[in-house]
């Protein structure tokens, strides 16, 4: 039997997308929070920078850092072909709003007093250029992400969390060392396509299935989620509208 969201039939669209029940006994309609509206682009710029700085702290707390490797960018809402990055010499756990660096599409520092990682510019510039709909991009050298990337394979749809990436992630299987070549960065952006994630073979990125492979080696076979259920669940948990109010990062930021 095909899955359905029948319990949400009387909800507003924003609540349906987020899987939220907002019908109060008093009759009041409770709305899930969404990306805020701003009185000015300067106000939105500050909001994005504050959340970018917080992302680095969260990543450090979760162990997604490795020395000064890894980088996260956010598109500037005023100069939309520019983006903010972390300075090369600073650990994720130490980054503040005032430390963030604004670079243009030519790799020139527009605001800030530190250099940025050349590979960070190469990867993020191409992604932001190829995908105008993408406002932020993250790349990490997490231990489990690097280990899994060595297999050069996509995620199996074996958990509800994995379904966030159902039909929306790829593997870039041409390891070319540190990404400093223009053609290399174009190939990575092409591998990403219209998806939300790409696993860089022998390089890093996503975690989740290292333990599953270990279990399979012991004679246990993972149960792959059915296509119909996978597609339905992805529509509930994998959309950008779901990620903004309900993502784990948002809750940690508030905390």
Q: Per residue in 123-134, pLDDT tens? A: 888 888 888 888
Query: 9 pLDDT exceeds 90?
Result: no
Q: What are the domain boundaries of the chain?
A: 41-254
Query: 14 pLDDT exceeds 60?
Result: yes
Q: Which of 129, 145, 121 is nearest to 189 (CA)?
A: 129
Cα torsion through 132, 195, 8, 251, rounded to 10: -80
- Among left, alpha and beta (phi > 0; psi -120 to 50; other), residue 65 is beta
- Taking the domain 41-254, which CATH number applies? 3.40.225.10
Residue 13 — pLDDT band, cuts 50, 70, 90?
A: low
Give the C-alpha separation, 145 to 203, whole Å: 8
φ/ψ of 66, rounded to 5, equals -150, 95
Instruction: Determine what percent of the chain is predicted with pLDDT higher than 70.
Output: 69
Q: What is the pLDDT of residue 85?
A: 94
SS3 state at 180:
coil
- CA angle (79 as vertex; 78, 80 as ends), nearest 5: 95
């Amino acid at each position: 039997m095909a899955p359905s969201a029948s319990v949400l039939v009387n909800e507003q669209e924003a609540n349906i997308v987020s899987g939220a029940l907002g019908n109060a006994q008093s009759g009041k309609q409770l709305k899930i929070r969404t990306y805020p509206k701003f009185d000015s682009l300067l106000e939105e710029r500050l909001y994005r920078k504050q959340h970018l700085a917080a992302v680095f702290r969260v990543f450090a707390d979760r162990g997604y850092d490795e020395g000064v490797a890894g980088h996260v960018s956010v598109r500037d809402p005023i100069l939309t072909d520019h983006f903010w990055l972390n300075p090369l010499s600073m650990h994720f756990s130490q980054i503040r709003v005032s430390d963030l660096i604004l670079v243009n599409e030519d790799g020139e520092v527009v605001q800030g007093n530190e250099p940025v990682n050349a590979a960070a510019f190469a990867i993020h510039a191409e992604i932001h250029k190829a995908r105008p709909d993408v406002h932020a991009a993250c790349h990490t050298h997490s231990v489990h992400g690097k280990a899994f990337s060595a297999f050069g394979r996509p995620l199996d749809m074996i958990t509800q969390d994995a379904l966030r990436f159902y039909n929306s992630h790829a593997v870039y299987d041409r390891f070319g060392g540190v990404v400093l070549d223009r053609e290399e960065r174009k190939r990575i952006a092409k591998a990403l396509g219209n998806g939300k994630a790409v696993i860089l073979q022998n390089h890093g990125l996503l975690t989740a299935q290292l333990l599953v492979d270990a279990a399979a080696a012991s004679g246990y076979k993972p149960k792959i989620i059915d296509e119909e259920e996978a597609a339905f669940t992805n529509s509930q948990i994998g959309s950008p509208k779901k990620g903004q109010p309900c993502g784990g990062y948002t809750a940690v930021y508030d905390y």
